[in-house]
Structure 1
Amino acid sequence: MSKIQFSVQVLLVSDLERSKRFYEHVLGCEVTDWWAVRDDFALGFKLMQAFSIEDVRPNKAGKGQVVPWNTYAYVDTHVELDALFHELQTKGAEFVQQPVVEEQGWGAWKEFAIQDPDGYVIAFGSGKRN
């Protein structure tokens, strides 16, 4: 079976240059004419200029979901997740969910979420305390 190396999410955006600035300066992505990627494509996007604002349609919340996600990225430990939270906070990210810990039968899940200029929500989570 062939191995997939990485994937990117395609996002239609209302203002391509504004989105490129956000993904580079706030999210810390390497931004080119084709990609906005971070950590060797662990987090990747293809930003495309929409024809009209009506074409920009972030996800709505699913059943049982409070914050709707467009992208969900995993971080290894809670310590690394906290460091990422502080990094994004200092860069001016708009948080739609502050860090929250939910106790599960197997341990504690911690997550937070930010929003890009078009309302796409990018969540980050971790299941390891250390």
Structure 2
Amino acid sequence: MEVLSSRVLVRPSDPERSRRFYRDVLGLAVYREFGPRADPGLVFFLGQGFLEVSGTSEGGSAGPTGIWLQVRDVHAEHERLVAAGATVTRAPREEPWGLVEMWIEDPDGVRIVLVEVPADHPLRRDQRFAAG
């Protein structure tokens, strides 16, 4: 598998408290913000990687960590991983935000999200030339 990008996902019990902690207490720089202005998801720089704090945990705690991996072709990875015996919890599908995602689990149940960024997705546009 050729991994193009990755991030660690955290689903906190109190999103605002966690956003303040990572942004204001730890002082992590914000890479991007998405979702509703009143309750945004934040992606922070972590050296060569990223940490995303978004959504809420279902059990009242942050729950298990998830891993986000950007790949070139999620459908090819799906076929390869199924053949290798990986536990696929959700087959590839295009999400409302335009990314193609599939979910797998590691042996301990940690969710790993494989993501393909389609050629026409805004993440592929050179922002230096975007209309302002």
User: TM-score, normalised on structure 1?
Assistant: 0.42
User: TM-score, normalised on structure 2?
Assistant: 0.42
